[in-house]
């Protein structure tokens, strides 16, 4: 978590410097000709990552098949899967808490507009929960629409637009490639070290905070879908680390996201890894304050709330992954998502197989948690392939 705080501080420091950069941004002559160019064939870039390494082919680990109904029977056809999918969704929604009604016609206020490279950047404000507004950045490339679009999520929205840690500037790079992008983040909550969203209040959250982040991203989808520049059928989502968890829950629980890229969130529960900390109060372990001391679960520092209930009843996140089928998914794996994560992903491949789809589940791997130029190259090609006609 120390590196998380450092990342947040870098983003916030960059934001304070942003005002000084605005005038120069207004007068930029154009994008770097060596960056942001779409590859001639994105599929050639991403194709190798849709097959598990030999050691992980056909390996399903100890994860129960999401194809198995609660009565013990198994989904074998697409019609079976539709019933099983609804069973999984209802089960998880009953545990996570029911979302408030989505904000399908958002009132978007434009606070500032500047010109950057080959796109226009708007700083905007909109309601992302029934009782809370957020400020983010809407990047609209030059040219005729409607265009594909992507929601980017992180601790704050400045990093994704290029004002934070290098190689986490997903919004900037996607805008350079012709995508409309909406960058959002939990700035105020991150400053307060509560990180997430709590509904109706932090004193009495009725929806698991990580699920509530998914709800906020679904409302951000509607912000994009209501734009004349955007093709609502071609909106994806991407996030790294905390943002990867956020993007995962958003895309699994809200099926209007056409595809998703999750950068090293820790795609399944793993209590040996401090950064795969779904047990924390701001994710799936919400409990009224005072909160548990941050860190690994121990006898002296147990987990509370929903998380231990999920573990006790044998649930894991591969069940949520299955809700992505047949929408394309890329896991940009690092230290928290090594190649063995093909075990849960193989279950998703099986669901796609029943539905008649292949090449819908991909994973890259790098040793470090942080994304890099090579891993991001695959993310951008993934969106180019699946969201651009």
pLDDT in tens, 23-43: 333 333 333 333 444 457 999
pTM of the model: 0.91
pLDDT in tens, 117-169: 999 999 999 999 999 999 999 999 999 889 999 999 999 999 999 999 999 99
Task: List the end-to-end C-alpha distance of the chain, in Å, as a whole number.
Answer: 40
**DSSP 8-state assignment for residue 200:** S
Please, are residues 189 and 197 in contact by the beta-carbon 8 Å criterion? yes
Q: Which domain, by its residues, includes 71?
A: 2-387
Q: Which residues of 234-246 are buried (b: 16+ CB within 10 A; e: fewer)?
A: bbbbbbbbbbbbb
CATH number of the domain enclosing 153: 3.40.50.1820
Q: What is the pLDDT of residue 156?
A: 98
Q: What is the pLDDT of residue 223?
A: 98
| Mean pLDDT across 60-79 | 97
Q: How far apart are CA 289 and CA 280, in angstroms?
A: 12
Q: What is the pLDDT of residue 145?
A: 81
Count structural domains, the chain: 1
Q: Quote the percentage of the chain above a pLDDT of 90.
A: 89
| Mean pLDDT across 303-327 | 98
- Report the SS3 class of residue 180: strand
Q: What is the pLDDT of residue 39?
A: 52
Better pLDDT: 39 or 348: 348
Which band of pLDDT confidence, cut at 50, 70 and 90, is reported for residue 244? Answer: very high
- Provide the mean pLDDT of the chain: 92
pLDDT in tens, 266-306: 999 999 999 999 999 999 999 999 999 999 999 999 999 99
Which band of pLDDT confidence, cut at 50, 70 and 90, is reported for residue 314? Answer: very high
Q: Crossing angle of helices 342-355/78-96, nearest 10°? A: 130
């Amino acid at each position: 978590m120390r590196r998380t705080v450092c990342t947040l501080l870098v983003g916030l420091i960059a934001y304070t410097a942003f005002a000084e950069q605005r005038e120069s941004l207004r007068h930029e002559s154009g994008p770097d000709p060596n960056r942001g160019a779409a590859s001639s064939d994105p599929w050639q870039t991403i194709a190798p990552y849709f097959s598990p390494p030999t050691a992980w082919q056909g390996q399903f680990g100890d994860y129960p098949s999401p194809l198995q109904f609660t009565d013990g029977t198994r989904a074998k056809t697409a019609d079976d899967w539709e019933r099983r999918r609804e069973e999984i969704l209802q089960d998880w929604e009953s545990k996570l808490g029911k979302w408030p009604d989505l904000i399908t016609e958002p009132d978007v206020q434009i606070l500032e507009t500047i010109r950057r490279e080959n796109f226009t950047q708007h700083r905007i404000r909109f309601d992302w929960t029934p009782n809370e507004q957020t400020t983010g950045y809407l990047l609209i490339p030059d040219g005729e629409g409607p265009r594909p679009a992507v929601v980017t999520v992180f601790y704050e929205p400045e990093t994704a637009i290029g004002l934070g840690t290098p190689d986490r500037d997903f919004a900037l790079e996607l805008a350079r490639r012709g995508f409309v992008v909406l960058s959002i983040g939990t700035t105020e909550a991150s400053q307060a070290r509560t990180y997430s969203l709590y509904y109706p209040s932090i004193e009495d959250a009725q929806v698991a905070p990580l699920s509530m982040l998914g709800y906020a991203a679904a409302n951000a989808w509607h912000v994009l879908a209501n734009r004349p520049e955007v093709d609502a059928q071609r909106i994806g989502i991407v996030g790294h680390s905390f943002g990867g968890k956020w993007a995962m829950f958003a895309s699994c629980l809200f099926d209007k996201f056409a595809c998703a890229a999750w950068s090293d969130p820790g795609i399944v529960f793993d209590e040996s890894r401090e950064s795969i900390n779904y047990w924390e109060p701001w994710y799936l372990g919400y409990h009224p304050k005072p909160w548990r001391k941050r860190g690994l679960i121990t006898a002296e520092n147990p987990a509370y709330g929903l998380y231990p209930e999920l573990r006790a009843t044998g649930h894991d996140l591969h069940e949520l992954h299955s809700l992505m089928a047949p929408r394309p998914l890329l896991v940009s794996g690092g230290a928290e998502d090594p190649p063995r994560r093909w075990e849960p992903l193989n279950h998703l491949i099986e669901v796609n197989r029943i539905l008649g789809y292949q090449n819908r589940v991909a994973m890259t791997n790098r040793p470090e948690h942080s994304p890099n130029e090579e891993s991001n190259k695959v993310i951008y090609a993934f969106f180019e392939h699946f969201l651009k006609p």
